[in-house]
Amino acid sequence: MTTLHHEHATHGHDHGPGCGHPQVDHGDHVDYAHDGHLHREHSGHWDECEPAGHVTHDGHDHAHGSDCGHEAVRHGDHVDYVHDGHRHAEHDGHYDDH
């Protein structure tokens, strides 16, 4: 899965442990959920960390929801659930990897 590189130029603070935003491990870095989107530190600035394309998570054996036990993170117009080191989003009867 490719991640697009879009700098978040108006980011007014640094994220880190205790910043108040949910922390999500994402591959080789950490994302912070902020205002419905995800930020990651990159070369001294903050990027929007959004996947490119549509990546279906095959073999997902349960449904996510308010009582599934996984952290819910607001992401744009939907909710992602942090599961096994990545985020799942419900889409057309299946889950996508975000």
* Long-range Cβ contact pairs of 61-70 (< 8 A, separation 24 or more): 64/88, 64/90, 64/95
pLDDT, tens digit, 9 for 90 and up, residues 59-91: 777 888 888 888 888 877 888 888 776 778 888
- Would you say residue 4 has pLDDT above 60? no
For 52, the token pair is: 């490119």
Residue-number span of the structural domain to which 59 is assigned? 3-97
pLDDT at 98 over 70: no
pLDDT confidence tier of residue 51, bands split at 50, 70 and 90? low
**Full-prediction pTM beyond 0.75?**
no
Q: Work out how many domains the chain is built from and give that number.
A: 1
